Amino acid sequence: MSIALHGGPDACGAAPHDFSTNGNAVGPCPAVRDALREVDAAHYPDPHYTALRERLAAFHGVASDRIVVAASTSEFIHRISAAVMLQGGRKVWLPAHSYGDYERAAQAWGLQVAREPQPHADAALRWCCEPSSPLGQPQAGLPQQAAMEEGACVLDLAYAPLRLEGRPSLESAQLDRVWQMWTPNKAMGLTGVRAAYAIAPAGANAGLLRRIESLAPSWPVGAHGVALLETWTGDAAQRWLAGSLETLKDWKARQQALCTSLGWQCLPGNANFFCARPERPYPALAAALRAQGIKLRDCASFGLPGHVRLGVLPPASQQALKEGWTRAAACAEH
């Protein structure tokens, strides 16, 4: 079983300058923050999430029976993996570099894992992500994946609302052929509120959809998660998100220039994060940086040894990274 590796808080708490996660650093979104303050946490939400599912469906222009509410995308990853196995699936296909929970869920349910460039034609479940993780790039071969008749293709859209440039690889009709997995807490800058949803393909395998629904626990999303998902579909949150993307574009250009000035090689990407290869290995300096309140995401677990992933943070955090890295590197030489 692979070990779960994540960015974000650790045993020391949250780092003041945490580049290891990809939430919207302009956040939290004021509209969602205000909605959370008004939440009635004294009562259960509707166990069927009727109004929520209708609102999400209207936002995406789909039928409400295609909406599957999930505790988080990680929870849905495990749930659909279990459903595929129980439906007789035996093989899962993954991109060359991907979020670790895809593989962990497959292993937990005894599914064989094939990774790009291995063939995927006989896979019962195929994982895609765009913008991809950890690179933030278009998903190679995504239109071909969406067009396949056999197996279920899941498109992780965690970073789609945080796309800073480029265009999606799939048009609306192509999106209707895949499972879409959405997690707005990143875009809203509130990753501590766990709530997500999936959109089933038009004409989805009815047996698989029923199995996925039957595997859900009661009330997978609490009242605060409902408030986040409802508010994210509103005009106020969407206007704020659009404005935040302009700020993130500016911060990203500054951050990439800073990394280049340190002698790092930055890789291209379309989202609010990017990967880079530092001039010296990050693991050797990680402890010294963490002591200064700075944390990066080592990409070895993504199959990119020697690289780090950096979420885009404000200029003050970027300056802290520059000073902290220079100090840590100098100490390492003595």
217-234 pLDDT, tens per residue? 999 999 999 999 999 999
Q: Which of 234, 262, 294 is the last residue of a domain?
A: 234
Q: 254 — phi, psi (to 5°)? A: -65, -40
- My answer on whether 43 and 90 are in the same domain is yes
Same structural domain for residues 186 and 291? Answer: no
**Domain of 49: which CATH number?**
3.40.640.10
What is the 3 state secondary structure string of the chain?
CCCCCCCCCECCECCCEECCCCCCCCCCCHHHHHHHHCCCCCCCCCCCCHHHHHHHHHHHCCCHHHEEEECCHHHHHHHHHHHHHHCCCCEEEECCCCCHHHHHHHHHCCCEEEECCCCCCCCCEEEEECCCCCCCCCCCCHHHHHHCCCCEEEEECCCHHHCCCCCCCCCHHHHCCCEEEECCCCCCCCCCCCCEEEECCCCCCHHHHHHHHHCCCCCCCCHHHHHHHHHHCCHHHHHHHHHHHHHHHHHHHHHHHHHHHCCCEECCCCCCEEEEECCCCHHHHHHHHHHCCEECEECHHHCCCCCEEEECCCHHHHHHHHHHHHHHHHHHCC
- Asked whether residue 288 is domain-assigned, the answer is yes
Q: Are residues 253 and 166 in the same domain?
A: no
Q: Do 156 and 272 share a domain, yes or no? A: no
In terms of domains, do 75 and 114 share one?
yes
Same domain, 162 and 297: no
Which of 200, 234, 268 is the last residue before a domain boundary? 234
Residue 4 within a domain: no
Tell me what pLDDT residue 120 has.
79
Tokens of 94: 């993954």
Q: How confident is the model at residue 203 (pLDDT cuts 50, 70, 90)?
A: confident
pLDDT at residue number 224: 98
pLDDT recorded at residue 46: 97
Looking at the fold, whether 43 and 185 belong to one and the same domain comes out as yes
The C-alpha angle with vertex 316 and arms to 276 and 23, in degrees rounded to 5, equals 60
On whether residue 11 sits in a domain, the answer given is: no
180 with 66, same domain: the answer is yes
CATH code of 277's domain: 3.90.1150.10
Q: Does residue 147 belong to any structural domain of this protein?
A: yes
What secondary structure, in 3-state letters, does 146-184 show? HHCCCCEEEEECCCHHHCCCCCCCCCHHHHCCCEEEECC
Question: What pLDDT, in 10s, does the model give residues 249-262?
Answer: 999 999 999 999 99
**Model confidence pLDDT, tens digit, residues 85-101:** 999 999 999 999 999 99
Residue 297, domain extent: 17-25+237-332
Q: Does residue 210 form part of some domain?
A: yes
Average pLDDT, the chain: 94
Indicate whether 204 and 244 sit together in one domain: no
Instruction: Check pLDDT > 60 for residue 3.
Output: no
Quick one: pLDDT at residue 288?
A: 95
Residue 193, both tokens: 């509120």
Report yes or no on 2 lying in a domain: no
The pair phi, psi for residue 270, each rounded to 5°, is -105, -5
Boundary residue ending a domain (234, 254, 283):
234
pLDDT confidence tier of residue 118, bands split at 50, 70 and 90: confident
Residues 263 and 194 both lie in one domain: no
Which of 8-12, 298-302, 327-331 is the least confident region?
8-12
The reported pTM is: 0.94
Is-contact 270 131, C-beta < 8 A?
yes
pLDDT, tens digit (0-9, with 9 covering 90-100), for 22-51 = 999 999 999 999 999 999 999 999 999 999
Q: What's the domain count of the chain?
A: 2
Q: What is the mean pLDDT of residues 232-238?
A: 98
Same domain flag for 162 and 277 = no
288-307 confidence digits (pLDDT tens)? 999 999 999 999 988 899 99
Question: Does residue 5 fall inside a structural domain?
Answer: no
